[in-house]
Amino acid sequence: MDYLVQQKKNLRKTYLLVFLFLFLMATLGLVIDALFGVFPFGTILLIFIALIQILAGVSSGPALVLRSVNARKINEKSFEEKQLKNIVEELTIAAGLEKAPEVYVMEDENINAFATGFKAKKSAVCVTSGLLKHLNREETEGVIAHEISHIKNKDTLLMTTISAILGTMVLVQLFAWRSLRFLLWSNRGRRSSKKKDSGLGYIIVALLILALVATLFSLIGRISIFAVSRTREYLADAKAVELTRNPKGLSGALRKIAKMQKSKGKVKGATIATAHLFISDPLKRSVNNKEGFFANLFGTHPPIHRRIALLENVPEEIVLKELQEG
Amino acid sequence: MVVVGIVVAIVLIVLFWFVGTYNSLVSKKKRVENAWSQIDVQLKRRHDLIPNLVNAVKGYMKYERETLEAVINARAKAISGGSIDDRIKAEGELSGALSRLLAVFERYPELKSNEQVKQLMEELTSTENRITYARQFYNDTVMKYNTSIEMFPTNLVAKTFNFKPFVFFEAAAAEKETPKVDLTF
């Protein structure tokens, strides 16, 4: 597999999505300003809200994620966990990061792992106890390389920034729908003054347009956050191979994950808000096993057989068949 | 007036480009130097680890005196200093000796069940990986730096301020031996 070509392609897609987000935000700000004739206050307000959300996310995001899955720091007296710490430190060197991320373990039978944090220096890597139990050193190296790549690429930072922007759109949407409902409700049974009516009608139409536009944008935003996540998984796989120079480790780990996928339940504590952080979908939603337009829009992870096929450089049908048989 | 304005603008743009390029070259060079120091850190880690390791295993490996002595001698040579070329060569020999030791270790089940030895062996494996990765990162960084000082138009700035290409850190011959090959002796 030529990972450099893969990386360039994925990077371009990612840039495109980020650009799309920025474009939508700017348009939304302008729509508000045009509707109410308050340029540039609408735009400034939107940016202000977005900044507050980003700051709030930066100050508590990673800790909240780790707490939500009940993660604990590793115990260096345990051989497996010390080995895990060693692997994280090795790949930190390979990626040229200044400081190794903190290492956490969460009690869960599934094989899974995720990385979180905004700055490379203050990030964390968390694996399930099932991963420690079932993966050998080579496979663990592959998984950790994938997670370190997320940190190196600043994926977690990007995901959270997009979430903050998305949050702003949802806020505007809520505001518009609520005030619309309030106006319509309070206006019922008052039909005396015609002059008042035409002014109110104008505001209602304006709010309706705003509500529709914001709803549309937040829907597009929601879809895009998952598409970003999907391409980023391929990207992190490619980068992981660049670090370890060994596609076998990661593909072996993914094969074990695929085999265990049906026998075990969801990862404890994982939600739709954190699912995109994991190396494989902790919620096991069936959309992530599919390809095509719909799956690309709503899936958080690429189909696992496709990731294995890319790593091993074999047709995906063969991998799919092997996984179904084995 | 217009012509003067255009000329001034062009001169300013060129100046800004020059400063920007120079600064980015300096930071790339710094990155290469940092990557080199990382290799040093990991080599030091390896030197510190070896005495503990040898003490822990020598009781078990009576028949592997040669392998152990090779490790001890290579370490002594590596820490004795000398020119960079000498050091790279000595470290290469040390890597070869250690990979043979790791291979021998596979043949002693009672060693593998010893918790202390198991931990030391994990540390050794980890250290060898760290050295490989540090060298890999150094070479990647050097490649980026060397490419940028040769590319037009950055090479104009590089030549003006005498930025020289760095040498790649090639693995020594002894280091390329894989443990699998060594299992046959």
Question: Does residue A116 or residue A167 have the better pLDDT?
Answer: A116
Among A231, A139, A166, A171, CA closest to A42? A171
Distance CA(B150)–CA(B159), nearest Å, equals: 9
Q: Which residue of A has its CA nearest to B115?
A: A79
DSSP-derived 3-state class of residue B107? coil
For the residues B153-159, what does the mean pLDDT come to? 89
Q: At CA A70, angle to CA A64 and CA A74, rounded to 5?
A: 105
Residues A269, A256: contact at Cβ < 8 Å? no
DSSP-derived 3-state class of residue A293? helix
Q: Is the pLDDT of residue A34 over 50?
A: yes
Question: Does residue B154 or residue B59 have the better pLDDT?
Answer: B154
How would residue B176 be classed by pLDDT, with cut points 50, 70 and 90?
very low
How crowded is residue A46: how many other Cβ atoms within 10 Å of its Cβ?
21
Mean pLDDT (chain A, rounded): 80
For the residues B140-152, what does the mean pLDDT come to? 90
Rg of chain A over CA atoms, in angstroms? 23
B166: which DSSP letter?
P
Distance CA(B163)–CA(A149), nearest Å, equals: 31
A272: which DSSP letter?
T
How would residue A1 be classed by pLDDT, with cut points 50, 70 and 90?
very low
Among B75, B68, B53, B170, CA closest to B119? B53
Distance CA(B88)–CA(B96), nearest Å, equals: 12
Rg of chain B over CA atoms, in angstroms? 24
CB-count burial class (<10 Å; 0-12, 13-18, 19+) for A49: middle
Distance CA(B150)–CA(B147), nearest Å, equals: 5
Show the 3-state SS of A34-83: HHHCCCCHHHHHHHHHHHHHHHHHHHHHHHHHHHHCCCEECCCCCHHHHH
Show the 3-state SS of A73-141: ECCCCCHHHHHHHHHHHHHHHHHCCCCCCEEEEECCCCCCEEEECCCHHHCEEEEEHHHHHHCCHHHHH
Q: Reply yes or no: is the peptide bond before residue B153 cis, omega within 30 of 0.
A: yes
Distance CA(A108)–CA(A70), nearest Å, equals: 10
Residues A89, B130: contact at Cβ < 8 Å? yes
DSSP-derived 3-state class of residue B161? coil
- At B35-93, the pLDDT tens digits run 988 888 999 999 999 988 888 887 777 767 888 888 999 899 888 877 777 877 888 88
A275: which DSSP letter?
G
Give the strand pairing for A124-128 and A113-116: antiparallel
Sheet order of strands, A102-106 included? A72-73, A102-106, A124-128, A113-116
- At A169-214, the pLDDT tens digits run 666 677 888 888 888 887 776 554 555 566 777 777 777 877 887 7
Q: Reply yes or no: is the peptide bond before residue A40 cis, omega within 30 of 0.
A: yes
For the residues A119-125, what does the mean pLDDT come to? 83
The pTM score is 0.76
User: Would you state the structure tokens that stand for residue B164, as one six-digit string?
Assistant: 């020289």
- At A283-306, the pLDDT tens digits run 888 778 777 777 776 777 888 999
Residues A96, B122: C-beta atoms closer than 8 Å: no
How would residue A164 be classed by pLDDT, with cut points 50, 70 and 90?
low
Helix (H) or strand (E) holding B4: helix B2-57
Q: Is the pLDDT of residue B182 over 60?
A: no
CB proximity B178 to A under 8 Å: no
For the residues A118-125, what does the mean pLDDT come to? 82
Q: Which residue of B has its CA nearest to A90?
A: B130
Pick the residue of B32, B127, B136, B142 with the most A CBs within 10 A to test the interface with A by mutation: B136
How crowded is residue B176: how many other Cβ atoms within 10 Å of its Cβ?
13
Pick the residue of A93, A141, A243 with the most B CBs within 10 A to test the interface with B by mutation: A93
User: Would you state the structure tokens that stand for residue A123, as one six-digit string?
Assistant: 């990030």
Q: Name the catalytic one among A147, A233, A242, A325.
A: A147
Q: Where are the beta strands (DSSP E) in B24-180?
A: none
Residues A86, B126: C-beta atoms closer than 8 Å: yes
How would residue A2 be classed by pLDDT, with cut points 50, 70 and 90?
very low
ipTM rounded to 2 decimals: 0.79
Residues A304, A296: contact at Cβ < 8 Å? no
Residues A237, A147: contact at Cβ < 8 Å? no
CB-count burial class (<10 Å; 0-12, 13-18, 19+) for A183: middle
Residues A94, B133: C-beta atoms closer than 8 Å: yes
Q: Which residue of A has its CA nearest to B135?
A: A94
Q: Chain B partners of A93 at a C-beta cutoff of 8 Å? A: 38, 42, 130, 133-134, 137
CB-count burial class (<10 Å; 0-12, 13-18, 19+) for B100: buried
Report the gap between the CA of B129 and the closest CA in chain A (Å). 6
**What was the pLDDT predicted at A93?**
94
- Helices A316-325 and A304-312 meet at what angle, rounded to 10? 120
Distance CA(B42)–CA(A69), nearest Å, equals: 34
- At A101-113, the pLDDT tens digits run 999 999 999 999 9
Show which of residues 58-97 on chain A sit within 8 Å of chain B, judged by CB atoms.
79, 82-83, 86-87, 89-91, 93-96
Farthest-apart Cα atoms in chain A, separation: 81
Q: Is the pLDDT of residue B20 over 60?
A: yes
Q: Please name the member of B126, B130, B137 whose beta carbon is closest to the beta carbon of A96.
A: B137
CB proximity A144 to B under 8 Å: no
Q: Is the pLDDT of residue A59 over 80?
A: no
CB-count burial class (<10 Å; 0-12, 13-18, 19+) for A252: buried
**Per-residue exposure over A298-317, b if at least 16 CB sit within 10 Å of its own CB, e if not:** bbbbbbbbebbbbbbeeebe
